[in-house]
Amino acid sequence: MKADEILIRPILSEKSSLLREAKNKTYVFQVAKQSNKIEIMKAVKTMFNIEPLSCSIVNVRGKKRANIPYRGSVKRGHGKTASWKKAYVVLPEGKTIAELEA
């Protein structure tokens, strides 16, 4: 699997920005479901030329959603959002990913 197939997108939320600004420089990515920690760390090294210190993985379960009325149309039934995998990648002290800091 290629590096751009493993790292799907960075997660740019308030919590992830606080982790980036912290002392340990943790970056959060949405990754492919079948990837593991070793593949994720190799993908970060390949794409950003930075050797990560560690990587943690979280499987995010999809949430159940009920269809609600919108602008007068009523759609009945229930659905579910997709499940996905999230990776927390810790970089060495003083290293940053410039593309994600903007």
DSSP-derived 3-state class of residue 10: strand
Q: How many residues does the chain have?
A: 102
Would you write out the chain's pLDDT as a tens digit for each of its 102 residues?
899 999 999 999 999 999 999 878 999 999 999 999 999 999 999 999 999 999 999 999 999 887 766 666 666 667 788 999 999 999 999 899 988 886
DSSP one-letter code for 27: E
CATH code of 3-94, in short, is 3.30.70.330
Q: What is the pLDDT of residue 68?
A: 67
87 close to 56: Cβ distance less than 8 angstroms = yes
What are the residue boundaries of the structural domains of the chain, listed by start?
A: 3-94
Using the 8-state DSSP alphabet, how is residue 53 labeled? Answer: S
Between CA 12 and CA 100 the distance in angstroms is 9
Q: For residue 60, which phi and psi values (nearest 5 degrees)?
A: -95, 120
